[in-house]
Structure 1
Amino acid sequence: MEKAGAENRRNVAISARSLVKTFGTGEFAVHALKDVDIDIRENEFFTLLGPSGCGKTTLLRMIAGFELPTSGIIQLDGQDITALPPHKRPVNTVFQSYALFPHMTVAENIGFGLKMLGRSGGDIDKRVKRMLALVQLEAMANRRTDQLSGGQQQRVALARALAPEPKVLLLDEPLAALDLKLRKNMQIELKSLQAETGITFVFVTHDQEEALTMSDRIAVMRAGEILQIGAPTDIYERPTHRFVADFIGDINILEGSVVSSEGRTAQVRLKDGAVIEARVPEGVDGSGDVALAIRPEAARLAGPDETAALSGTLENVVYFGAASYLHLRLGSGEEFVLRHSGALDAYDLSTGSVLGIALQPGRARVLE
């Protein structure tokens, strides 16, 4: 995991240190956050990713000021905001429900926060027009929000939150209520909005694809702790923790033991006797019993004249157009899934046939 102290302090927008949140007391206490350290940089799209109950929304609400930490501090631009109420923080939040005013027009909704801040009428009109253009809703300015589609309502909520030009915009699963196609379109629009405005976005989701699609960096959380922080390619290609590898995308996790190592490379003997070369990430112990992670796309069917790294008994073939996913059972009894994008005509794909598996060099990784 990235060390919080390694960040360039001048570029940090939000910083949290030793953050703890406990609900209840004694045997009924729930530890929502456990000694969390995190730095979120200026002008980045940062995602808190994890399953339900992992603490990601609690952390977001504490940045917003809706929850106070049990202990620890939160800073914005180097200033302690731990005890500041929400309305005194230069932070806005977009909720999953959008929380729009149905009796107001789109323009009135967007300008509402500016009016509460005491901005002049001319300033409000100018800013509302700018926000309408930004979210491409100029033609909808005088419609009531209950006359809009879900995607349009989400854009209004974004425009309203962006209008006061907050230093940080917090987004609590704002795409969850949208259908699949609209959600994918909004993922692209959200990332474009962040890049155009230059505002730091902190996005909460349990959807791995959303996180990989939009984020500059991702923090993967489990049970109140941050397990790994990194760019999407780091989280997907170079996971350091077994939970991270298993939570992000499809993956094969095999049990084995290290028989030799040199630097960050280890030879791992699997349960079926095969020896696989694997990378050992920094901070991971590359000795003794280990778990080995191999993505399905890092494996393919071995050719007839090729030495296979593994072999397995075919149980199922799932066709996805551009590629086929083959489900095999290794000699150890473990399941192995590979993604084969080439022609399959040369292989015996009858159930129960034994097939060789070739691996891309350097793609197998040792996990904590």
Structure 2
Amino acid sequence: MQGQSARGNCLSSTSEKAAIEIQGVSRYYGHDPYKVTALENIHLAIRENEFFTLLGPSGCGKTTLLRLIAGFDFPSAGAILLYGENIAPLPPFKRPVNTVFQSYALFPHMTVAENIGFGLKMLGKPKEEMQARVEEMLSLVHMVPMRDRQVSQISGGQQQRVALARALAPKPKVLLLDEPLSALDYKLRKEMQIELKRVQAETGITFVFVTHDQEEALTMSDRIAVMSSGSVRQVGTPREIYDRPADRFVADFIGESNFLSASVLQRHGATAEVRLSNGAVIEAALPAMQADRDAITIVIRPEHAALTPAGGGTFDGILTDAIYFGTDTHYHLTLDDGTAFIVREQNSRADRLLHDKGARVGVQLGQAAAQILGAE
């Protein structure tokens, strides 16, 4: 899941200048005693030219925050700044932002080119300028051969490209994308992830992307804000979020994780010596904000562990299942203290000895495999 991405293999052109600043934004619905909190005191800075993702489960507040930036809703408290100007009081049509919706909202009676030019027409752009911009957008999203087709005559992926081109045509300073890939099948969704990244890189426009798909967020983003229950739990690059989750929620939501109880024996620098429940002593990385506490929880990603013969690793357990995923196999174990644990090992083309279910096996941890989680 961690995988290499097009984003991770190139240098980012993101500037440090903030395009959007979310300053103490809250959104409440209703009144006491029936008040519902959708967002609570959100602080975020989204950089210019950045592909920024709001990631979290359903109901966490990510779409609400996107709607506040778009102007479809208004904050109960706080300010939303676009290049230093507070846009929170402005209606949507007075904000230099545009939105690509999950449903695309294309006009079925119009051609591809007419859909792309619709916003420009509503802005009263001269005909020659509008035609030139439509041709530019058709080329950008690789839809020139489809320009005269009705949108009902093109595929879902092509409709997504048209919706993207229409939103980009008026040259917004920020493009908001509300789970635009969720209706596509897996293979097409993967292709469109690459296309969205290409378009964002070519246009240099700040993208704010909403998704509940962790793999999608890790693949596409410059930075990610992980949200839960109306608050932001962690902001960081995909690698920071995956390798150094701030707390148990982030570690559990992003990918697969193993959680073990432990106690701190000694702290030294950025790591600590900890004792597991089975008595094994290992080194674990300390979180950035580490409270002075002895009883802790450590997280270990499944790919940072390997199976060994019983007694030959850090701890032992019983193999309860082995799930083949093509590129790798996930081994599910029950450790001696009853804790569930997953080991993920890559498969090679050569035949390899698979462990039998019910067998007693050992688990060997890789270097820097364990991290102590911050307090919730």
Do both proteins adopt the same fold according to a TM-score greater than 0.5, normalized to the shorter chain? yes
Give the Cα–Cα distance (whole angstroms) in 2 for the partners of residues 345 and 260 of structure 1.
43
Q: Deviations over 1:165-212 (max 9, x none)?
A: 100000000001111111010000000000000000000000001000
| Match for residue 32 of structure 1 among 20, 38, 51 | 38
Give the Cα–Cα distance (whole angstroms) in 2 for the partners of residues 358 and 185 of structure 1.
37
Offset of 1:314 from its aligned partner?
A: 1.1
Matching residue of 1:81: 87
Q: Deviations over 1:72-97 (max 9, x none)?
A: 00000011111011000000000001
| 2:110 equivalent to 1:104 | yes
Structure 2 vs 1, CA of residues 75 and 296 (structure 1 numbering), >3 Å: closer, same or farther? same
Offset of 1:346 from its aligned partner?
A: 8.2
Q: Which runs of 5+ in 1 are unaligned?
A: 1-7
| Match for residue 329 of structure 1 among 334, 337, 344 | 334
Q: Deviations over 1:214-248 (max 9, x none)?
A: 00000000000000000000111111111000000
| 2:98 equivalent to 1:92 | yes
What one-letter code is carried by the residue in structure 1 that aligns with 2:224? I
Give the Cα–Cα distance (whole angstroms) in 2 for the partners of residues 256 and 208 of structure 1.
28
Q: Which runs of 5+ in 2 are unaligned?
A: 1-13
Structure 2 vs 1, CA of residues 349 and 30 (structure 1 numbering), >3 Å: closer, same or farther? same
What one-letter code is carried by the residue in structure 2 that aligns with 1:215? S
What one-letter code is carried by the residue in structure 1 that aligns with 2:334? R
| Match for residue 180 of structure 1 among 179, 186, 209 | 186
What one-letter code is carried by the residue in structure 1 that aligns with 2:109? H
Q: Is the 8 A contact 1:314 1:353 kept in 2?
A: yes
Offset of 1:143 from its aligned partner?
A: 1.1
Offset of 1:9 from its aligned partner?
A: 9.8
| 2:114 equivalent to 1:140 | no
Q: Is the 8 A contact 1:328 1:336 kept in 2?
A: yes
Give the Cα–Cα distance (whole angstroms) in 1 for the partners of residues 328 and 193 of structure 2.
25
Give the Cα–Cα distance (whole angstroms) in 2 for the partners of residues 55 and 324 of structure 1.
35
| 2:317 equivalent to 1:312 | yes
Structure 2 vs 1, CA of residues 212 and 9 (structure 1 numbering), >3 Å: closer, same or farther? closer
Offset of 1:16 from its aligned partner?
A: 0.8
Q: Is the 8 A contact 2:100 2:178 kept in 1?
A: yes
Offset of 1:21 from its aligned partner?
A: 0.3
**TM-score scaled to structure 2, two decimals?**
0.92
Q: Is the 8 A contact 1:47 1:217 kept in 2?
A: yes
Please show how residues 347-366 of structure 1 align to structure 2 within 5 Å: 349-366=355-372
Offset of 1:320 from its aligned partner?
A: 2.5
Structure 2 vs 1, CA of residues 119 and 113 (structure 1 numbering), >3 Å: closer, same or farther? same
| 2:258 equivalent to 1:256 | no
SS, match of residue 249 in structure 1: coil
Bigger mean CA offset, 191-200 vs 308-317 = 308-317
Bigger mean CA offset, 48-57 vs 278-287 = 278-287
Give the Cα–Cα distance (whole angstroms) in 2 for the partners of residues 39 and 349 of structure 1.
49
SS, match of residue 235 in structure 2: strand
Matching residue of 2:27: 21
Q: CA RMSD in A?
A: 1.9
Please show how residues 150-299 of structure 1 align to structure 2 within 5 Å: 150-285=156-291, 287-299=293-305
Q: Is the 8 A contact 1:299 1:339 kept in 2?
A: yes
**TM-score scaled to structure 1, two decimals?**
0.94
Give the Cα–Cα distance (whole angstroms) in 1 for the partners of residues 171 and 143 of structure 2.
18
What one-letter code is carried by the residue in structure 2 that aligns with 1:167? K
Give the Cα–Cα distance (whole angstroms) in 1 for the partners of residues 247 and 116 of structure 2.
43
| Match for residue 57 of structure 2 among 45, 51, 57 | 51
Give the Cα–Cα distance (whole angstroms) in 2 for the partners of residues 192 and 182 of structure 1.
15
What one-letter code is carried by the residue in structure 1 that aligns with 2:71? G
Structure 2 vs 1, CA of residues 345 and 97 (structure 1 numbering), >3 Å: closer, same or farther? closer
Q: Is the 8 A contact 1:240 1:284 kept in 2?
A: no
Give the Cα–Cα distance (whole angstroms) in 2 for the partners of residues 223 and 310 of structure 1.
36
SS, match of residue 28 in structure 1: coil
Q: Is the 8 A contact 2:15 2:49 kept in 1?
A: no
Give the Cα–Cα distance (whole angstroms) in 2 for the partners of residues 322 and 293 of structure 1.
23
Offset of 1:322 from its aligned partner?
A: 3.1
SS, match of residue 324 in structure 1: strand
Q: Is the 8 A contact 2:234 2:246 kept in 1?
A: yes
Offset of 1:303 from its aligned partner?
A: 6.1
What one-letter code is carried by the residue in structure 2 that aligns with 1:132? L
Matching residue of 1:4: none
Offset of 1:27 from its aligned partner?
A: 2.2
Offset of 1:353 from its aligned partner?
A: 2.0
Bigger mean CA offset, 182-191 vs 287-296 = 287-296
What one-letter code is carried by the residue in structure 1 that aligns with 2:19? A
Give the Cα–Cα distance (whole angstroms) in 1 for the partners of residues 292 and 159 of structure 2.
50
